[in-house]
Amino acid sequence: MLHPKYHWESLQTDEDKARLLSDQLNISPLVASLLITRGIRDLDEGKRFLYGTLADLHDPLLMSGMKEAVERIRAAVENGERILIYGDYDADGVSSTALMIHLMTRLGANFDYYIPHRSKEGYGLHIHALEQFYESGFTLVVTVDTGISAVEQVAYANSVGMDVIVTDHHEPPSKLPEAFALINPKLPYCSYPFKGLAGVGVAYKLAQALLGGDTPMEWTELVALGTVADLMPLVEENRLIVTYGLKSMGHSAFPGLTALLSVAGSIKEQVSSTNVAFGLAPRINASGRMSHANRAVELLTTSSAQDAELIANELDILNKERQLLVENIVEEALLQLAAKEAAGHLPDVIVVAGEGWNVGVVGIVASKILERYYRPTIVLGIHPESGECKGSARSIPGFDIYEALTHCADLLDHYGGHPAAAGMSLPKDHLVNFEQRLGEYATDILRPEHFVPTMLTDIECSLEEVTLPVIEQLEELAPFGMGNTYPRLLIRGVKLLECRQMGKEGKHLKLNVSHNGTSIEAVAFGKGELAPLLANESVIDLVAEAGINEWNGSRKPQLLIQDLSISHIQVFDYRGARYPIVKLEELVDKLLHLPSYELRTMATVLSDEVDGLNTSDLKNTPLWVYDNDAGVNPGNEIAVVEGADAVKTLFVLQLPESSHMWNRMMERFGSLERVFLLHPMRKDHEKVQSPSREQFKQVYAVLRQQGYNPIAQEELIVTLVGRTGLSRRMLELTLEVFEELDFVTRTSGTIILNESPSKQPLETSSRYRELGLLAEMEQMLLHGRIPQITEWMHNQMQGQGA
270-292: per-residue pLDDT in tens?
A: 899 999 999 999 999 999 989 99
pLDDT at 131: 97
Categorize the per-residue pLDDT at 121 as very low, low, confident or very high, splitting at 50, 70 and 90: confident
Asked if pLDDT for residue 441 goes beyond 60, the answer is: yes
Distance CA 171, CA 400 (A): 12
Q: Is there a domain that residue 228 lies in?
A: yes
Check whether residue 70 and residue 101 sit in a common domain.
yes
Check whether residue 611 and residue 739 sit in a common domain.
no
Q: Is there a domain that residue 329 lies in?
A: no
Mean pLDDT of 375-404: 94
Mean pLDDT of 5-11: 90
Check whether residue 272 and residue 394 sit in a common domain.
no
Q: For position 14, which CATH number holds?
A: 2.40.50.460
Mean pLDDT of 734-758: 89
Average pLDDT, the chain: 92
Asked if pLDDT for residue 531 goes beyond 50, the answer is: yes
pLDDT at 613: 59
Check whether residue 462 and residue 441 sit in a common domain.
no
Q: Is there a domain that residue 697 lies in?
A: yes
Distance CA 314, CA 617 (A): 50
Give phi and psi for 750, each to the nearest 5: -120, 160
Residue-wise pLDDT for 449-500, tens only, equals 899 899 999 999 999 989 998 898 888 899 999 999 999 999 999 999 999 9
Mean pLDDT of 236-261: 96
Burial class from Cβ neighbours inside 10 Å (0-12, 13-18, 19+) for residue 655 reads buried
Categorize the per-residue pLDDT at 618 as very low, low, confident or very high, splitting at 50, 70 and 90: low
Q: Is there a domain that residue 339 lies in?
A: no
Check whether residue 717 and residue 757 sit in a common domain.
yes
Q: For position 737, which CATH number holds?
A: 1.10.10.10
Asked if pLDDT for residue 212 goes beyond 50, the answer is: yes
Find out whether 260 and 280 touch, Cβ atoms under 8 Å. Answer: yes
Domain boundary among the residues 515, 546, 565 is at 565
Give the number of C-alpha atoms closer than 13 A to the C-alpha of residue 243, restricted to the C-beta side: 22
Q: For position 403, which CATH number holds?
A: 3.10.310.30
Residue-wise pLDDT for 343-359, tens only, equals 778 899 999 999 989 98
Check whether residue 63 and residue 162 sit in a common domain.
yes
Domain of residue 296 covers: 56-317
96 closest CA partner among 291, 296, 264, 237: 296
484 DSSP 8-state letter = B
Asked if pLDDT for residue 609 goes beyond 80, the answer is: no
Q: Angle at which helices 29-37 and 15-25 pack, to 10 degrees?
A: 120
pLDDT at 802: 42
Burial class from Cβ neighbours inside 10 Å (0-12, 13-18, 19+) for residue 763 reads exposed
Residue-wise pLDDT for 48-98, tens only, equals 999 999 999 999 999 999 999 999 999 999 999 999 999 999 999 999 999
Q: Is there a domain that residue 733 lies in?
A: yes
Helix and strand element counts for the chain (H, E): 27, 27
| Pairing status of strand 7-10 against strand 454-457 | parallel
Distance CA 380, CA 358 (A): 9
% of the chain surpassing 70 pLDDT: 98
Check whether residue 595 and residue 672 sit in a common domain.
yes
Give phi and psi for 428, each to the nearest 5: -60, -35
Residue-wise pLDDT for 575-594, tens only, equals 999 889 889 988 998 888 88
Check whether residue 737 and residue 754 sit in a common domain.
yes
Q: Is there a domain that residue 610 lies in?
A: yes
Asked if pLDDT for residue 620 goes beyond 80, the answer is: no
Asked if pLDDT for residue 617 goes beyond 70, the answer is: no
Residue 595: how many other CB atoms lie within 10 Å: 7
Check whether residue 441 and residue 466 sit in a common domain.
no
Domain boundary among the residues 565, 585, 612 is at 565
Mean pLDDT of 386-413: 94
Residue-wise pLDDT for 753-792, tens only, equals 998 888 888 888 889 999 999 999 999 999 999 999 999 9
- pTM of the shown model: 0.80
Q: For position 281, which CATH number holds?
A: 3.90.1640.30
Q: Is there a domain that residue 335 lies in?
A: no
Burial class from Cβ neighbours inside 10 Å (0-12, 13-18, 19+) for residue 475 reads middle
pLDDT at 277: 95
Check whether residue 516 and residue 657 sit in a common domain.
no
Sequence-ordered strand ranges (E) for 176-263: 181-183
pLDDT at 799: 67
Asked if pLDDT for residue 203 goes beyond 80, the answer is: yes
Overall number of domains in the chain: 5
Q: Which of 3-17, 97-111, 235-249, 302-316 has the lowest mean pLDDT?
A: 3-17
Check whether residue 401 and residue 384 sit in a common domain.
yes
Check whether residue 695 and residue 673 sit in a common domain.
no
Q: Is there a domain that residue 141 lies in?
A: yes
Distance CA 714, CA 528 (A): 54
